[in-house]
Amino acid sequence: MGGRDMTPRGAVGVWCLLVAIAGFSGAGTAATIPAASGSSVDIQAAVDQAQPGDTVLIPEGDFDFEGQVFATDGIEIRGMGRDKTRLIKRDELTEWDAMINVDCSTGEPFVFSGITLQGKGRFVQPVNREKGPIRDLGLYLRGACVDFQIHDSRFTKFTRAGIQLRGNVGTVQGAAVGVVYGNEFIDQWYPGLGYGIEVVGHENAWDEPIELGTADVVVIEDNLFERHRHTVAANNGARYVFRYNRIVDNYQDAAAIDAHGLADWPRGSRSYEIYENQVDNSIKRWAGAGPRGGSGVIFNNRFNGVYHGVMLMVEKYNRRMRYPVKDQIHDLWIWNNLVDGVPVRKPSFWEVQRRAKKLIREGRDYRLEPKPGYKPLVYPHPLRTSRS
């Protein structure tokens, strides 16, 4: 469980000063609580002292990380910068046993910043293990997270996902609301998995009408994604905005931007707003955006190095399906997207889904024009400007 502190000597004096400053936090004010190192044990010890509004500060260095950290929302976990504070997974814990776990139970915002989380799953292939691959996970937010911020960090070499947001678990269940910005997601892929961010919402989202252009969703903006299967994957009532992101070298022949229909969760994706993103693949890949359910808008994206700009699909397709398929694509608006500089006149349909065009029809389920009355959420996200 311990960590190997590799903090450079030059940083020791600065760190001691930060510890001294933290010690002067007055009663009734937010405190800064330094972790002794970046090991899970030392981070957990600091987290256990933190009260809502406090910051847990992790020092500079490369730290071996074994086990897990468990926190509640209402605090900030901050490193000295993603190139300075690096937590490197050394154990073989797999799905749902994330490095950092947050139970959103207080109703207060959670903030994560200035840290690199590095997984192990990319290094351990099935041929090396009797039990198969490690499907590991970096940061896991559970429940109805309110106004969370994840920014200026790096998530790399996880096989399941760098970040997972899941609304149907935790003490207080419900859809997460917040923003993920200014991060680097590097080298997360595995057959059938491999997500930068996995947004699993709450099935109750299907009980309410949706409104696009609001901040009451997961907003993913101004991030770099390199070598993923899906940069974002969505399911179970998920609602997200994916905008102003750069995607480089989608690793496998999959859609860079994903939204599931009804598959392995109680419900499919509810809504998505995908715009002003750029994909640049040095090897030509399958698709830019590939929704399989839900509704929303896809516009002003630049897809370079893909065979299909927008690929429309039916989840769990079979020839016996009749319209409407539960949670299928509907009320989707597509306009002004480019593939290698050429306008996308129409979406594509997967050749193995021969009846998909009858299930997803232009003019009924999707339209190739701007959505009337639609106004995107103000940019940058309002939470970003609320922090000093």
DSSP per residue, 149-189: EEES-EEES-SSEEEEEETTSSSS-S--EEEEES-EEEEE-
> What's the confidence (pLDDT) of residue 370?
98
Q: Encoding tokens for residue 327?
A: 């949670």
Q: Which of 134, 60, 144, 150 is nearest to 100 (CA)?
A: 150
> What's the confidence (pLDDT) of residue 9?
34
Determine contact, residues 314/289, Cβ cutoff 8 Å.
no
Q: How confident is the model at residue 26 (pLDDT cuts 50, 70, 90)?
A: very low
Domain 76-385 belongs to what architecture?
A: 3 Solenoid (2.160)
Encode pLDDT of 46-83 as tens digits: 999 999 999 999 999 999 999 999 999 999 999 999 99
Q: How confident is the model at residue 17 (pLDDT cuts 50, 70, 90)?
A: very low
Encode pLDDT of 245-254 as tens digits: 999 999 888 9
DSSP per residue, 276-318: S-EEEEEEEEEEEEEE-SEEEEEES-EEEEEEEEEEE--TT--
Rounded CA gap, 46 and 40, in Å?
10
Rounded CA gap, 94 and 86, in Å?
20
Q: How confident is the model at residue 1 (pLDDT cuts 50, 70, 90)?
A: very low
> What's the confidence (pLDDT) of residue 78?
98
Which residue ranges make up each domain of the chain?
A: 76-385
> What's the confidence (pLDDT) of residue 109?
98
> What's the confidence (pLDDT) of residue 253?
83
**Residue 160 CB partners (closer than 8 Å, separation 6+):** 95, 121, 135, 136, 137, 190, 193, 194, 195, 198
> What's the confidence (pLDDT) of residue 13?
43
- pTM, two decimals, is 0.92
